[in-house]
Amino acid sequence: MEYAPHPTPPASEPQPQRSEPIHPGSGRGDWLKKLWGPIAAAALLLVKFGAKLKVVLLLLPKVKLFTTSATMLVSIGAYALIWGWKFAVGFVLLLLVHELGHVFQLRREGVEASAPMFIPFLGAVISAKSMGDDAAAEARVGLAGPILGSVATLIPLGIWLATGSELFQALAYIGFLINLFNLLPVLPLDGGRAMAALSPWVWFVGFAGLIAMTFFFPNPILLLVILFGGLESWRRFKARKTPESQAYHAIPGRTRALVAIVYLGLAALLAVGVFETFLEKDFDDV
């Protein structure tokens, strides 16, 4: 501002081939594939459909195609190029529920919020004039996304446990992972919003950790978080002594304790979910 066994295919059908995992690897060599894969796919599409794409882009604003459903379809198409359409649909739906958590809570706080807009390979965003009246409201808005997103992830988790489907295991894994990632205590991520109600100084600790993570696992998304998070953190740091800023962060100790319990408890549960659903397999052919 976020992660078993499977049905044996019939003997007449070929066994799905094993390939690289869809999740972040532990080696530094994997990051090149993650960094350049989406870029290469987008470049190929631009080369192949360049002329048509230019016409479409000129017409989109006039036909109001930039709606939630339209950007969802674009994202599904983009992710399907890499992971297959089944995973792409599930992944985008998990992102949608996560973002709707923010939208619902913002509206409960009396803040008008837009519907989610999806950006391929970057996730989804919503827009709002504020995060609420104080740091407690900002924390509630921030945590609402991972909470609802985690609840939604229980659906593929349950299907995997009932059927052993690797597709749903992978969806459960990625659902837990994206919600856990969003709990990093760095602005503008959801965890950074929660830290507004606890201790804004944690932003700088989280920021240092994120820089270290980016060094070991270079990723364009992490670079964007560092850029925008750094700018917002610096803006808030400069304004920390203003009466408005002090009033914004003046919330009851009971509220701080409740936010801490929810934040730490959710992070722990998500970490367990990521560990238990870890899948060393691609599932394009499942």
**What confidence tens digit (pLDDT) does each residue in 104-138 have?**
999 999 999 888 999 888 888 888 888 888 999 99
Instruction: Give the residue from 285, 284, 281 showing the smallest Cα distance to 5.
Output: 281
Average pLDDT value for residue range 13-40: 42
Among 2, 20, 99, 112, which one carries the catalytic annotation?
99
Residue 182 pLDDT level (bands cut at 50, 70, 90): very high
pLDDT number for residue 235: 87
pLDDT number for residue 239: 84
Quote the strand ranges of the chain, DSSP E: 117-119, 123-125
Average pLDDT value for residue range 31-35: 41
Q: Does the annotation count 232 as an active-site position? A: no
Query: Look-up: residue for tokens 């409201």?
Result: 137
What is the chain's mean pLDDT, rounded? 79
Q: Residue 15 pLDDT > 90, yes or no?
A: no
Q: Residue 271 pLDDT > 50, yes or no?
A: yes
Average pLDDT value for residue range 12-25: 41
**What confidence tens digit (pLDDT) does each residue in 77-96 have?**
999 999 999 999 999 999 99
Comparing 57-71, 110-124, 226-240, 272-286, the range with the smallest average pLDDT is 57-71
pLDDT number for residue 200: 78
Bond from prior residue into 200 cis (ω within 30 degrees of 0): no
Q: Are 167 and 283 in contact (CB under 8 A)?
A: yes
C-alpha distances out from residue 92 to 100, 178, 186, Å = 12, 11, 23
Residue 169 pLDDT level (bands cut at 50, 70, 90): very high
What is the residue type of 259?
A: V
Q: Are 95 and 118 in contact (CB under 8 A)?
A: yes
